Structure 1
Amino acid sequence: MDAVLRVTEVFKSIRETKFSGIRSPGEFFDYHRISRPADVNQAISRISYNTRYFSGNYGLIIAVLAVYAVITNYLLLISLAFLVFGFAAINKFAPEATQFGEHTITQKHLYTGLFVIGIPLLWISSPIGTFFWLVGASGVLILGHACILEPGVESEYATIQENV
């Protein structure tokens, strides 16, 4: 029960810190502010401002893409579930050594068996490829959005506030 409270507190703190800066969909998808940057300097300036301004929205995009990547890669989902639930089951149901005939099975033996099966299963499910897909897909979406969206009027005042 204590672990459940800690998990809910962690999610609450993430929501308060990371997702408190989520801008409204109307502002994030404002098609009136879409334009091609004139040069590379303007593109870099837009990316710099928009990644700070829409950081909550971009974090949400990365989270949604990560969930999508794990759900569509069934073998990765199964191997992660196997490792997580196996670890939890060993901690809950086998805290002490168990005697089977002449053999004594300890937590160390159970963890070894879990990792001997789980790590190759995880390796076959290509988590590295999934990670690079996530980096590429989120990079293209975020940099593309940040580059083509003109900063709002409030960006003009951001430099004045920093200098004061």
Structure 2
Amino acid sequence: MLRSRVGTIRPVHEFLDFKRVSKPKNMNDVQKRVAYNLAYFSANYLIVFAMLLVYSLLKNWLLLFVLVFVSASLYGINYLKGADLNLGFVRLTTSQLYVGLLVVALPLGFLASPFSTILWLLGAACVTIIGHAAIMDKPIESAFSEEAV
């Protein structure tokens, strides 16, 4: 699936073609443009979403730390393959490690404000992607292919 998606990435000069930028005539024109451009530039819009995701994580260092911490902790617990963790002075079972991770990660996760980050990401992506799709006119070639009977 990833190969087919990468194959549909449009070149930057086509994605940012300022000659095709125009104000839509009415809401019907907006709907047609958005429907066409969402399908045509779908791989490019996925890249825009990924760039906004990286930006939002770099702006929220605590959330990035919590995600890396939880991922590394889960990897470490799974690396034990069900065996107990023996630190010499204490022996911890897998379930104790999971509970300990939950006790540490849950408050940190709430402090990192993931919900506001997710809402910002969705809002920024929708405004950027739908805004681009609405102002980009269809190429001339597609207009001729639609009128052919």
TM-score by length of 1: 0.82
Distance apart, 1:20 and its partner CA: 2.0
Partner of 2:57: 70
Rounded to whole Å, the distance in 2 between the matches of 1:71 and 1:44 is: 34
Deviations 1:6-35 (A, max 9, x none): xxxxxxx52x13222110111111111111
Q: Does 1:155 align with 2:142?
A: yes
Structure 2 unaligned regions, length at least 5 = none
Rounded to whole Å, the distance in 2 between the matches of 1:111 and 1:160 is: 61
Structure 1 unaligned regions, length at least 5 = 1-12
Judged with a 3 Å threshold, the aligned counterparts in structure 2 of structure 1 residues 59 and 101 are, in CA distance, closer, same or farther, namely closer
Judged with a 3 Å threshold, the aligned counterparts in structure 2 of structure 1 residues 54 and 98 are, in CA distance, closer, same or farther, namely closer
Partner of 1:19: 6
Deviations 1:77-119 (A, max 9, x none): 1111110011111222474124678965210000110111012
Rounded to whole Å, the distance in 2 between the matches of 1:101 and 1:23 is: 57
Which residue identity does 2:115 align to in structure 1?
Answer: I
Rounded to whole Å, the distance in 2 between the matches of 1:138 and 1:158 is: 30
Q: Does 1:46 align with 2:36?
A: no
3-state SS of paired residue (2:96)? helix
Matches within 5 A, 1:76-115: 76-93=63-80, 95-98=82-85, 104-115=91-102
Which residue identity does 1:106 align to in structure 2?
Answer: T
1:31 to 18, 21, 24: 18
Judged with a 3 Å threshold, the aligned counterparts in structure 2 of structure 1 residues 53 and 100 are, in CA distance, closer, same or farther, namely closer
Rounded to whole Å, the distance in 1 between the matches of 2:30 and 2:44 is: 19
Q: Decide whether the 8 Å contact of 1:49 with 1:155 is kept in 2.
A: no
Judged with a 3 Å threshold, the aligned counterparts in structure 2 of structure 1 residues 94 and 105 are, in CA distance, closer, same or farther, namely farther
Partner of 1:123: 110
